[in-house]
Copies of this chain bind each other. A is one copy, B any other.
Amino acid sequence: MDAFFIPFPVSPELQVHRLPMDHPGDLSALAKLLDQGVLRAQDVLAVIGKTEGNGGVNDFTRGFFTQSLMALLGTRLGRAPQQLLQEIPCILSGGTEGVLSPHYVVFARAEAAPDALPGPALALGRALGPVMDAQDMGRWAQVRQVAAAVRTAMADARISGPADVGFVQVKCPFLTPSLAESASAAGRPLGCPDANRSMALSRAAGAFGVALALGELDDDPALEAALLGDFSLFSNRASISCGVEVQACEVVVLGHSAQWRGPLRLACAPMADALDLGAVSQVLAELGLHAQPQLGERDQARVAAAFVKCEPDRRGRVRGARHTMLGDTDINAQRHIRGAVGGLVAGVLGDGRIFVSGGAEHQGPDGGGLIAVIAEVAQP
């Protein structure tokens, strides 16, 4: 992202646009904002969204959306889509089960209006790690690389310290069979990887990397054994995905900074399990939003975006009652849990436009996950 040449504004404000899509190739809502001048293409920092695929290895809605996004921005900026791909993180989770609605959140940085609320306000920073060696994937080296990228992104966001970081979204590469083959051919055999485990390990290492950067974990290489091993270790602010399409870790840090202005704030809380309705209420309460039991219309209008990580409990039970997510041959377990937790959170928010993502290893408590919400402060 070194090539990103838009100067940092004197007094930046983060704009957050939550936009609908009719299908994974539909960027018309963003095009309209650009046409109307509500948003400038060069201000776009990152996109996080949910597309309506299955969320698995063969979910191509993510690639379709990304290609469509970069084509649009490329046209508007007069730049090659392929290059934008290296500069603008586009992190997608497939799978809009149940009441979840396909949508994307566009984050843009612009000069704040003179009458904008003073900071500290919501801030966003980005960083791209170095191209990762196959032998480092899912290892402590990855943990450190992610931690370094998180620190870079914090600096990019002008966030002064870990306490001001609210939520970190990371996308990591993982040890694919073809990478393993190449390494093998180069005389550095890495064992025969199972793709699902490789992905889980990479997410785990990503989570540990965030935890390291935020001071939630020590930089102790012996903890490598705790990756997918000791689920009592986790970050409360990390959301990790991994994809074949990246060769380096992409990091987006959201938090608060005195240098930014505007009405947006973020709160984040761990979810103890898939039924942790209390965590949702708590996050909202921190933002001055009151769900009794659901947000009212005025409070709903203040919510700019919501992000959730969750996980089908690997012990096969939720609060003592057997669930059937893990043994279902017909529906992938991640689709199950997204639908269920999506229903719960949407019930409280009164809105299905929520980023709900599975694969929450070490991202929040074991069997649970976490929730982050961005909302405007109450108008006085």
Q: What's the minimum C-beta distance from A71 to chain B, rounded to whole angstroms?
A: 7
**Contacting pair B324 A331 (CB below 8 A):** no
Identify A353's interface contact among B67, B102, B321, B329, CB under 8 A.
B321
Interface residues of A in 282-316 (CB under 8 A from B): 291, 293-294
A8 CB within 8 Å of chain B:
no
Identify A57's interface contact among B20, B327, B352, CB under 8 A.
B327
Chain B residues lying within 8 Å of A203, measured Cβ to Cβ, are none
Identify A321's interface contact among B53, B291, B321, B351, CB under 8 A.
B351
A342 CB within 8 Å of chain B:
yes
**Contacting pair A20 B60 (CB below 8 A):** no
A36 CB within 8 Å of chain B:
no
A183 CB within 8 Å of chain B:
no
Stretch of A150-158, A165-173, A246-254, A271-279 with 4 or more beta carbons under 8 angstroms from chain B: A271-279
Chain B residues lying within 8 Å of A55, measured Cβ to Cβ, are 329
> What per-residue 1/0 map shows which CB atoms of A326-368 lie under 8 Å from chain B?
0111111001110111111011101111000000000000000
A59 CB within 8 Å of chain B:
yes
**Contacting pair A60 B58 (CB below 8 A):** no
Chain B residues lying within 8 Å of A328, measured Cβ to Cβ, are 56, 58
> What per-residue 1/0 map shows which CB atoms of A51-77 lie under 8 Å from chain B?
011111111110110011001000000
By size class, the interface of chain A is 35 or more
Chain B residues lying within 8 Å of A341, measured Cβ to Cβ, are 98, 343
CA distance A329 to B199 in the complex (A): 15
Chain B residues lying within 8 Å of A337, measured Cβ to Cβ, are 98
CA distance A339 to B338 in the complex (A): 9
Stretch of A22-30, A118-126, A208-216, A234-242 with 4 or more beta carbons under 8 angstroms from chain B: A22-30
Q: What's the minimum C-beta distance from A193 to chain B, rounded to whole angstroms?
A: 13
Identify A340's interface contact among B59, B99, B319, CB under 8 A.
B99
Prevailing SS type, chain A contact patch: loop
Identify A294's interface contact among B58, B275, B329, B353, CB under 8 A.
B275
**Contacting pair A347 B344 (CB below 8 A):** yes
Of all chain B residues, which has the CB nearest A54?
B329
CA distance A324 to B26 in the complex (A): 15
Identify A60's interface contact among B60, B99, B294, B342, CB under 8 A.
B60
**Contacting pair A346 B344 (CB below 8 A):** yes
> What per-residue 1/0 map shows which CB atoms of A205-232 lie under 8 Å from chain B?
0000000000000000000000000000
CA distance A154 to B53 in the complex (A): 39
A97 CB within 8 Å of chain B:
yes
CA distance A9 to B378 in the complex (A): 61
**Given A25-B60, A330-B54, A340-B98, A321-B67 contact (CB < 8 Å):** no
Identify A101's interface contact among B56, B98, B318, CB under 8 A.
B318
Q: Please report A residues at the B interface, Cβ cutoff 8 Å.
A: 20, 22-25, 52-61, 63-64, 67-68, 71, 96-103, 195, 274-278, 280-281, 291, 293-294, 318-319, 321-325, 327-332, 335-337, 339-344, 346-348, 350-353
**Extra contacts besides A55-B329, A347-B348 (10): CB < 8 Å:** A23-B63, A53-B60, A56-B329, A56-B330, A98-B340, A99-B274, A102-B324, A329-B335, A339-B340, A344-B347
A-B contacts, 9 listed (Cβ < 8 Å): A52-B58, A57-B327, A63-B64, A98-B336, A98-B343, A101-B324, A275-B350, A277-B348, A344-B347
